[in-house]
């Protein structure tokens, strides 16, 4: 089992950058594929980005391509989401998620993940 905690959210202006972090408990972080999701008020939780257990494979939602970068440091049990050129429509609660898997698998749906963090708020003003 793994416990996840997000950090790094905040209030920024459009065009700014933020880096979210997701820190995991446990000693087997490198065996988990990880992902970022977000949920805006009144909307369903949606996929943002995912990374394989080894970090070699990544996948992005169309809305994140070219602006967001997902990465991980298995030695620090931490995953990151670098968000650049933020837009007001990026405003949401951002969640990190984990699932036990192997190799190069990335998962891009909510159903593919077993563990979730409590979320961190990102607000982008226009």
pLDDT tens figures, 9-39? 999 999 999 999 999 997 789 999 999 999 9
- Measured CA to CA, the distance from residue 87 to residue 61 in angstroms comes to 15
Alpha helices by DSSP H, 11-118 = none
Residues 6+ apart with CB under 8 A from 51: 33, 34, 35, 57, 58, 59, 70, 71, 72, 79, 106
For the stretch 34-61, pLDDT in tens is 999 999 999 999 999 999 999 999 999 9
């Amino acid at each position: 089992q793994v416990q996840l905690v997000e950090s790094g959210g905040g209030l920024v202006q459009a065009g700014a950058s933020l880096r979210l972090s997701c820190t995991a408990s446990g000693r087997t972080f490198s065996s988990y594929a990880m992902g970022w999701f977000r949920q805006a008020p009144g909307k369903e939780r949606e996929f943002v980005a995912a990374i394989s257990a080894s970090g070699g494979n990544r996948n992005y939602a169309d809305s994140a391509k070219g602006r967001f970068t997902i990465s991980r440091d298995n030695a620090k049990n931490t995953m990151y989401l670098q968000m650049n050129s933020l837009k007001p429509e990026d405003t949401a609660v951002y969640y990190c998620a984990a699932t036990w898997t192997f190799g190069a698998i990335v998962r891009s749906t909510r159903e593919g993940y077993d563990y979730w963090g409590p979320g961190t708020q990102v607000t982008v003003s226009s």
